[in-house]
Amino acid sequence: MADVCYDEATCIYAGADRPAVDALNLDIKDGEFVVLVGPSGSGKSTALRMLAGLEEIDAGSIRIGGRDMVGVPSRDRDIAMVFQNYALYPNKTVAENMGFSLKMHGVSKEERQRRVREAARLLDLEPLLGRKPKHLSGGQRQRVAMGRAIVREPQVFCMDEPLSNLDAKLRVQTRTQIAALQRRLGVTTVYVTHDQVEAMTMGDRVAVLRDGRLQQFATPGELYDRPVNLFVAGFIGSPAMNQLNVDVDAGALRVGETVVPLSAAQATAVAGLSRVTLGVRPEHLSVGGGELKLQVDLVEELGSDSYVYGHLVAEPDTSLVARAGRGRFRMGETVGIGFDPGQLHLFHPDSGERLGP
């Protein structure tokens, strides 16, 4: 087990005009579960494959347990990887798949069998040990891929969207199982996903990537509470955070006819700006209790509660979504919206960077 450190790590594919991963810095602690998240094409897989030794590190370095990995082939890195399509060896049984790396490392047959059986027990794979991958269900294959990784007791687990080939229900189930397993084994894990819910629920810390650049590397709570820019703010949370361009007026915000007061720290942060981008999560808007008038366009009933989509009466171009209790509002209705001043996010109107605390 070891810590992992990306130090200005960069990967440029031949013929590409910009790096797929651009000067990435990440300090991953021993035993930590880190999730790389971002939209498709943001360089998550590339970053992971650089760690695994499957892509070259064109600049900077990656260290595992303090050892520089530049030029070190995969097989000498003591890393296990779970691939999106599992990459099980089709001609080998489950047991042989799981034992292959041990065999390659010259582990004795008895020891191999013992460790394979142990891993199989952990993952409920014992009855399947003699089967070939093509006779397994998707979920079982996924577990075999996990088993192949854990049986090696490597320094680091790499997982590239390991759940994306499962159906929604199984995905949620397996998500918690993987997280629990990792905590139990305590192996440093780098996990790639495009699904922010997966990232938030599984990671000790989450790194948000965009276009090969690290946007923010923080705990899920921090990402949710203090996104560093509009991109992270919009990416984390569902439905996405509302973004309104509003005027700043004497240490307060003016939204339509309504004045939203700011805290002292916030007021300091917006000093000198005439407009800012205001971010409010749907769950932090109170529906029915405020002065800001919202015309309801659509109500999404989720059972437990509902989301109200609408536009401001004063500024018809501005749309908002707010969470409300169930069944209280109807389409076409005009309702009052209230802000909680403690749950506002302010961003620079041009750069999108966070302003204030």
Ligand X SMILES: Nc1ncnc2c1ncn2[C@@H]1O[C@H](COP(=O)(O)OP(=O)(O)O)[C@@H](O)[C@H]1O
Alpha-carbon gap, residue 10 to 24, rounded angstroms:
6
- Quickly list DSSP for 61-114: EEEETTEE-TT--GGGS-EEEE-TT----TTS-HHHHHHHHHHHTT--HHHHHH
Q: Side chain identity at 15, as an amino acid letter?
A: G
Alpha-carbon gap, residue 118 to 242, rounded angstroms:
49
Sign of the alpha-carbon dihedral angle for 85, 87, 91, 92: negative
Judged by CB under 5 A, does residue 45 bind Mg ion?
yes
Return the one option of ligand X, other proteins, Mg ion, none that residue 284 interacts with (CB less than 5 to 8 A, by type).
none
Q: Are 276 and 234 in contact (CB under 8 A)?
A: no
Q: Kindly tell me which of 84 and 263 has the beta carbon lying closer to other proteins.
A: 84
Q: Which of 16, 104, 259, 314 binds ligand X (CB under 6 A)?
A: 16
Return the one option of other proteins, Mg ion, ligand X, none that residue 20 interacts with (CB less than 5 to 8 A, by type).
ligand X
Judged by CB under 8 A, does residue 105 bind other proteins?
yes
Q: Kindly tell me which of 216 and 306 has the beta carbon lying closer to ligand X.
A: 216
Minimum Å gap between C-beta 161 and other proteins is: 12
- Which one of the spans 37-45, 96-104, 244-252, 293-301 is the region binding ligand X (CB under 6 A)? 37-45
- Which one of the spans 20-28, 38-46, 122-130, 197-205 is the region binding Mg ion (CB under 5 A)? 38-46
Q: Which of 28, 37, 44, 229 binds ligand X (CB under 6 A)?
A: 44
Residue 185 in tokens: 């084994």
- Which one of the spans 7-15, 27-35, 198-206, 304-312 is the region binding other proteins (CB under 8 A)? 7-15
Minimum Å gap between C-beta 81 and ligand X is: 14
Judged by CB under 5 A, does residue 140 bind Mg ion?
no
Q: Are 248 and 276 in contact (CB under 8 A)?
A: yes
Q: Strand 213-218 and strand 205-210: pairing?
A: antiparallel
Residue 352 in tokens: 């999108």
Tell me how many residues contact Mg ion (CB under 5 A): 1
